[in-house]
Structures are given as structure tokens and as C-alpha cells.
Amino acid sequence: TAYCPPNNEPIARVRQASLEDYEETVRKAKEAWKVWADIPAPKRGEIVRQIGDALRQKIKVLGSLVSLEMGKIYVEGVGEVQEYVDVCDYAVGLSRMIGGPVLPSERSGHALIEQWNPVGLVGIITAFNFPVAVYGWNSAIAMICGNACLWKGAPTTSLTSVAVTKIIAKVLEDNKIPGAVCSLVCGGADIGTAMARDGRMDLLSFTGSTEVGKQVALMVQERFGRSLLELGGNNAIIVFEDADLNLVIPSTLFAAVGTAGQRCTTARRLVSGNSYRFPEIMYLDFSLADTLYGPLHTKEAVKMFLDAVEQAKQQGGSVVYGGKVINRPGNYVEPTIVIGLAHNAPIVHTETFAPILYALKFKEEEEVFAWNNEVKQGLSSSIFTRDLGRIFRWLGPKGSDCGIVNVNIPTSGAEIGGAFGGEKHTGGGRESGSDSWKLYMKRSTCTINYSKDLPLAQGIKFQ
């Protein structure tokens, strides 16, 4: 049953796949890949372009569905679909550019080239918090590389998964391409485990918690498979004395309470030499366009929020703002600021998917850079400063150890042109832009002898 987070009322029921359904879907997807892989990359790009256009036509209703089922505010729901559209646009251009270099051979009469081919079938497991965009990052790039996709979305956002898949399937079938090129299996941990252990998954892309991601990584590695992991984050905003507060305050607000703190890039630590208070947030009717802040996704998330607040108090923290459940239908909690904790307190090093911000104070640049890096995750990080030297130290080898390193902007809100992902317990994967397409392909180094001689490499004589 799909529930509406603003009021916890049931929306609809979605039949989950059995393992038999999964087996049939994998077989169909593998067959469809044989058709898809033979289509030239620019023509694959043209079909991805049509998918982007189909999403544009449905962007408002699909954004509304995301809001209804996931719980994020309407403008964020629409923005998430826009992200998929943007990735489609990016992938269209990429479809005419992917390829490897021609390398100089040390042997006369020989050519040395890199050949890139699709891996085959890409399994994509996504989380509830971005039920459209993360699939879009993966599928658009995977498709122009020549792969088929098999998607398992979060069980709590199955309606959104079905809607997106129907939009894609129509575009594929209108182009006489099997809809199974982009297959969907709704299901829970049993389907996810089957995908992780299935040798037919040539690449498994998993987005979710670090705890589950570790289990997925072990199952995939056990069969010598390939995985792309986008896991948790415990992200810091560091505010120096020369920071522009006109940038700091709205940035912190968006990063801390956007999607009700349920982003992997949410700011969970605000580290500064000063104390800042949250701007006042209005709790309006969920359907109003000027609402900034929605509910948590589930009742379980509310329990995790309350537990984290209690742990923060037990470990020496003081709640100076929020900390309570809002007395109204649905899963609403107050955005929360906690002060007085040590930078290495256990709860500060714990990623709670809720709008809790731990405000800390530092004295020296070297100290605060170390605090940024001491958590297990390494996803996103931001500093606010006008000092040019400090900016480049932050970007350098002794600065932030994260995959996303920002200056004078929040920790959340990444652009699709750059590779998205992080280091350490965030998993090391990269999706979307830059050269992340390489993860969806396999590389061959090819040597071609077009002479009548047979010289060996390194000048070896074998006579």
C-alpha cells in the first residue's frame, strides 16, 4: 500500500513482484538488450531525447505524484523530474561523443586503440527520497551507452516507479523498440538481494543507506560483479569569520531542511565561530505553493527523529530550536538545531535522515578541515569564505575529502554536468555527468597489426 506522508492515508495498492516475475523480467530485458545494443549510439540518443520530451509533457503531474507519494514539497517534486529531463538532454550530446583514444604504438605498422562497449544489463536500485531523478541519472546514461536497464525503486514509492516506466515504455514502443529495454520490478529486499547476487546483472547501481550498501557490495563482489554505490552522507557547512551571511543563512536553511532533511547531501553539521538561528519557517497547508517544508516519509522516520534528538540530549547537547513532532496529521516534525555537543559525539557522526542540525564551534582552519573529514562518509561539504588562499586549500589535498566540495553554496543541489558521488562510506560511485559514463561500459585495449611483420612489444626477440 502506498501512503501519503502528509496525512498517512492510503493512496493505492501496487502489486509487488514475485521472484518468478523477476526471473521473467530479467530474461526479457536480456533479450531486449540484443536489439538495443545494435542501434547506433546517436540513434539511441535520439530515443533518450524523446524520453526527455515525454517527461517534459508530464512534468507537473509527475511532480505532483512525487509530492503526494514521497512527501517532498511540490516545487521539489517538479525539480526532481526536471533533473531527469536535464540528464536526458546531457545524454543526447554524449551519445555522439563517447569513445576512447587512438594511442601511439611503439611498433611500426601497428595501431593501438581503446574500444568501449556496453556492459549489458544494468540493475538500478533507488531510494525513496529521489524516486525519479536518481533513476534518470542512471538510465539515461546507461541507455546511450547501449545497456538495458532493470529498475527496482523503493517499495514505498512504487506508484512513481510505475508512472515513470509507463512514460518510457511508450516512447520505446513508439520507436519499435522492446519496452523491456527499461524494465521495472516492484519489490522489497528479496528482489534487491536477487539482483545483487545475479550474475546476469552486469552492473548493479545501488542508492541507499551505507548499512544496506555494504551488504549489497559484499554480495556483488562475491560473484566478482561490478557495483556503483551512492550511499550516505554526513555533510558539513563551515562558516568562516569573513563569510557573507546573506549567502550563509538561506544556504543553511535549504541544505538543512530541504526535503525535510531526507537528502544524502543534507547539511547535518554547521561549524562556525558564531551562532546562527534558523530563519522562521511557516507551517502551511501542504498543498500551498509557498510551503518550504514537508513531512518525513514514514512513521518510522518520525521515530528515528525522536530517538536522535533524545540521544543528542543524553550526549550533552541542548535543543535550541525544534525537537518535537508537530501536532497535525501526517509525519511532520520540527526542524531542529542542537548545540553544545562535541564535534566527535557519536550522534554527530550518525546520519539521521531527518531535519536535525548540529551547530558546532571551531577555532582554527586546520582543526575544522579535520572535523569535516573525520566522519566515515565523504559525500558533500561546503565552506563560506572570501579568502582565496583558504578556498584553494579547501579544494586541495589537505582540504575536504568529499566527492562534492563547494564554496559559498550549500551542500545540496548538485548540477547534472558534474559527476555526483562521494568517497569512503559513501561508496565511491559516480553518476550523472563528467566521465561517469565509463562506469556503464567495459573497456578493451585493441592492438591491430596492419603490417606483414610481427614485432613484439618491449623489443623482445623470440626466435
Give dist(CA 133, CA 150) in Å, integer. 16
Nearest Cα neighbor of 378 from 427, 423, 414, 412 is 423
Check residue 34 and report its DSSP letter.
H
Q: Do residues 228 and 431 touch, judged by C-beta distance below 8 A?
A: yes
Quick check: helix, strand or coil at residue 154?
Answer: coil
What three-state secondary structure class fits 204? strand
Q: Is position 23 annotated as part of the catalytic site?
A: no
Q: Are 187 and 106 in contact (CB under 8 A)?
A: no
First to last CA, the chain: 73
Please write down the HEC assignment for all residues of 243-306.
CCHHHHHHHHHHHHHHHHHCCCCCEEEEEECCCCCCCCCCCCCCCCCCCCCCCCCCHHHHHHHH
**What is the C-alpha radius of gyration for the chain, rounded to an integer number of angstroms?**
24
Give the chain's length: 463
Catalytic, out of 69, 76, 230, 365: 230
Q: 419, 418, 426: which is closest to 229 by C-alpha?
A: 426
Measured CA to CA, the distance from residue 241 to residue 247 in angstroms comes to 13
Any idea which residues carry the catalytic annotation?
230
